[in-house]
């Protein structure tokens, strides 16, 4: 082998190892131009150009050479980079206590198509997962898009390495249901290409918000959210989900925030899960949930439309105070640099941001010393987008290998 060939191969391999990081930078919006990509990757302009061209040839990104820099800016305008709107997609699925939904999600966290949300969930996980995968397969058939993988979000901790739903407290599913294997089997059975993954819905929401939403740039991101029932938490450390030794970290729903409170499904009492979820708010406001709309939607409507009613307002304040107590405990333990709130918690923050921040500050050691920013989640369907992130991960890790397999 002569030196010239070795050099060319080395350059090729270096370029290949930069494909994944380059794709992740474009996917998360952190490299809007080739100049930024060059700087972020720490490579030469020629290498960055070759990497961008390769990703474009793979149908993953677009390189736009039309001048994009504003008049008067220094230097030559740089090529603009964006995800390819006609590129491949992944199938994302979400099951929650009030139904399920399938979607096709492109790079950049862009929802390309969704099925209408179903409103009943069978007690048999295989039945539900079969239905949601069929809904996704129908979307793929309608759109004709190439699918490179699938991800599922469930309202339960998912034990690793088994891939079992350990505590689907708000579904009638048996504890320990092998959801990851069942989902993967259904995906294969529907003829959908690529690997299949499963994760907890709030973990996945946090991952999506970190990459595309309110969590961008945070190094120690804490996410707390109500699903349709119950409360979950997640921590994204340096861009990766912290899931603990067996996938069960951040089960924040079972922090006690009211020792005399309501009995919880976990066997304890006064947990964040039952003291700050949509049902808790409706009950505190003296409302009986109606048959129309999910509990989350009914709680949202009450908060948005009747906040001036003193009973509704004091119910909201009670929930905010309990949520604040829970967040303060988490701030003391985890010392996050940002907290983001989803589901009903996001709406409660919007309704009275000062009250929640004041409770967290008063009740936490680190809150007092500086103040942790508390922000609302910004993505619609962030658990679905997060499920898609799981499916995109192999492509982000090694685009050539992943696309060759899918
Ligand atoms: Zn509990």
**Which distant-in-sequence residues (6+ apart) come within 8 Å of 70 by Cβ?**
none
**Token pair for residue 31?**
């490299």
119 and 248 housed in the same domain: no
CA 230 / ligand 1 centre spacing (Å):
9
164 C-alpha vs ligand 1 centroid, how far in Å?
Answer: 20
- Which tokens go with 240? 């990766």
- Rounded to the nearest angstrom, the distance between the alpha carbon of 251 and the centre of ligand 1 is 9
**pLDDT at residue 36, rounded to an integer:** 97
Question: How close is the Cα of 231 to the center of ligand 1, in Å?
Answer: 10
CATH number assigned to the domain comprising residue 335: 3.30.420.40
- Cα of 126 vs centre of ligand 1, distance in Å, is 27
Q: How far is the CA of 255 from the centre of ligand 1 (A)?
A: 7
The per-residue pLDDT for 169 is: 73
**Span from the CA of 398 to the centroid of ligand 1 (angstroms):** 40
pLDDT tens track for 75-128: 667 899 999 999 999 999 999 888 899 999 999 999 999 998 777 888 899 999
- Give the Å distance between the CA of 381 and the centre of ligand 1: 25
How far, in Å, from the CA of 322 to the mean position of ligand 1?
A: 14
Could you read off the pLDDT of 39-58 as tens digits, one per residue? 999 999 999 999 999 999 99
Residue found by looking up tokens 């492109």 in the block? 106
Q: How far is the CA of 62 from the centre of ligand 1 (A)?
A: 48
* Residue 20's pLDDT band (cuts 50, 70, 90): very high
| Other beta carbons less than 10 A from residue 176's beta carbon | 14
In a domain, 357, yes or no: yes
Same domain, 371 and 392: no
Q: What is the mean pLDDT of the chain?
A: 91
pLDDT at position 77 is 78
* DSSP symbol at 253: G
Q: Residues 11-30: what's their mean pLDDT?
A: 88
Same-domain pairing of 391 and 371: no
Q: How far is the CA of 271 from the centre of ligand 1 (A)?
A: 5
**261 CA to middle of ligand 1, Å?**
11
Pair 392, 369 in one domain: no
Residues 43 and 121 in one domain: no
Q: Could you tell me if 164 and 229 lie in one domain?
A: no
Are 162 and 282 contained in the same domain? no
Phi-psi region for residue 267, left (φ > 0), alpha (ψ -120 to 50) or beta?
Answer: left
- 3-state class percentages of the chain: helix first, strand second, coil last, to nearest 5: 45, 20, 35
d(CA 173, CA 178): 10
Most confident of 55-59, 93-97, 169-173, 229-233: 55-59
Query: Which pLDDT score, from 0 to 100, does residue 280 have?
Result: 96
Across the range 256-278, mean pLDDT stands at 93
Tell me, in angstroms, the distance from the centre of ligand 1 to residue 222's CA.
20
Give me the torsion for CA of 253, 311, 347, 388, rounded to 10°.
Answer: 50
Of 63-67, 152-156, 302-306, 315-319, minimum mean pLDDT range: 63-67
Q: How confident is the model at residue 2 (pLDDT cuts 50, 70, 90)?
A: very low
pLDDT band at 71; cut points 50, 70, 90: very low
Q: Indicate whether 237 and 127 sit together in one domain.
A: no
Ligand 1 centre distance from Cα of residue 389 (Å): 29
Domain count, the chain: 3
Whether 254 is covered by a domain: the verdict is: yes
Q: Using one digit for the tens of pLDDT, what is the confidence trace for 268-309?
A: 999 999 999 999 999 999 999 998 888 899 999 999 999 999
The answer as to whether 209 is a domain residue is no
Distance 301 CA to ligand 1 centre (A): 26
Instruction: Clarify whether residues 27 and 171 are in a common domain.
Output: no
Distance 252 CA to ligand 1 centre (A): 9
Asked whether 113 and 143 are in contact (CB, 8 A), the reply is yes
Q: How far is the CA of 250 from the centre of ligand 1 (A)?
A: 13
Using alpha carbons only, what angle is made at residue 197 by residues 255 and 264, rounded to the nearest 5 degrees? 20
**How much distance in Å is there from the Cα of 266 to the middle of ligand 1?**
4
Q: How far is the CA of 253 from the centre of ligand 1 (A)?
A: 6
Q: Give the pLDDT of residue 1.
A: 43
Whether 165 and 183 share a structural domain:
yes
Q: What's the gap in Å between 260 CA and the centre of ligand 1?
A: 13
- 357 pLDDT more than 70: yes
Domain range for 287 is 215-376
From 83, 116, 139, give the residue that closes a domain. Answer: 83
Element (H, E) at 210: helix 201-212
In a domain, 208, yes or no: no
| 95 found inside a domain | yes
pLDDT band at 62 (very low <50, low <70, confident <90, very high): very high
Q: Is the pLDDT of residue 148 over 90?
A: yes
Give residue 220's pLDDT band: very low, low, confident or very high (50, 70, 90).
Answer: very high
Whether residue 227 has pLDDT greater than 80: no
Whether 271 and 233 have beta carbons less than 8 Å apart is answered as no
Considering the domain architecture, whether residues 288 and 339 belong to the same structural domain is answered as: yes
pLDDT, mean of residues 337-345? 96
Centroid of ligand 1 to alpha carbon of 264 (angstroms): 5
The residue from 36, 56, 83 where one domain ends is 83
- Separation of CA 48 and ligand 1 centre (Å): 50
Taking the centre of ligand 1 as the mean of its atom positions, its distance from the CA of residue 225, in whole angstroms, is: 15
Mean pLDDT of 237-246: 94
* Cα of 270 from ligand 1 centre, angstroms: 7
Statement to judge: residues 126 and 95 lie in one domain: yes
Per-residue pLDDT, 368:
67
129 within a domain of the structure (yes/no): yes
pLDDT of 69 higher than 80:
no
- What is the Cα–Cα distance from 142 to 137, expressed in whole angstroms? 9
Residue where one domain finishes, among candidates 22, 49, 83: 83
């Amino acid at each position: 082998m002569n030196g010239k060939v070795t050099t060319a191969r080395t350059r090729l391999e270096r370029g290949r190892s930069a494909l994944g990081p380059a794709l992740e930078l474009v996917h998360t919006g952190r490299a809007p131009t080739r100049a930024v990509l060059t700087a972020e990757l720490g490579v030469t302009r020629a290498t960055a150009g070759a990497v961008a061209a390769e990703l474009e040839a793979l149908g993953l990104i677009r390189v736009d050479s039309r001048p994009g820099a504003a008049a008067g800016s220094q230097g030559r305008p740089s090529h603009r980079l964006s995800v390819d709107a006609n590129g491949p997609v992944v199938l994302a699925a979400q099951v929650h206590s009030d139904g399920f939904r399938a979607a096709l999600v492109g790079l950049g966290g862009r929802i390309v198509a969704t099925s209408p949300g179903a409103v009943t969930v069978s007690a048999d996980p295989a039945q539900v997962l079969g239905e949601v995968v069929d809904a996704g397969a129908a979307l793929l058939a309608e759109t004709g898009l190439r699918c490179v993988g699938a991800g599922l979000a469930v309202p339960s901790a998912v034990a690793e390495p088994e891939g079992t739903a350990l505590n689907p407290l708000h579904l009638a599913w048996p504890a320990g249901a092998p959801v990851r294997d069942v989902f993967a089997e259904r995906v294969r059975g529907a003829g959908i290409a690529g690997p299949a993954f499963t994760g907890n819905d709030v973990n996945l929401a946090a991952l999506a918000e970190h990459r595309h939403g309110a969590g961008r740039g945070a190094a120690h991101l804490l996410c707390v959210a109500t699903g349709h029932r119950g409360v979950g938490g997640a921590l994204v450390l340096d861009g990766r989900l912290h899931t603990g030794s067996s996938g069960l970290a951040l089960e924040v729903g079972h922090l006690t925030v009211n020792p005399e409170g309501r009995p919880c499904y976990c066997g304890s009492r006064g947990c964040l899960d039952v003291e700050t979820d949509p049902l808790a708010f409706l009950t505190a406001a003296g409302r009986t949930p109606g048959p129309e709309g999910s509990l989350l939607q009914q709680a949202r409507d009450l908060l948005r439309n009747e906040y001036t009613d003193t009973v509704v307002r004091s119910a909201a304040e009670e929930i905010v105070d309990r949520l604040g107590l829970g967040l303060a405990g988490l701030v003391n333990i985890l010392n996050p640099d940002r907290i983001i709130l989803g589901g009903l918690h996001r709406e409660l923050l919007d309704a009275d941001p000062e009250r929640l921040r004041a409770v967290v500050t008063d009740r936490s050691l680190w809150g007092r010393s500086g103040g942790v920013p508390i922000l609302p989640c910004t993505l619609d369907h962030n658990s679905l987008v997060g499920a898609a992130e799981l499916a995109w991960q192999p492509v982000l890790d090694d685009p050539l290998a992943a696309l060759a397999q899918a």
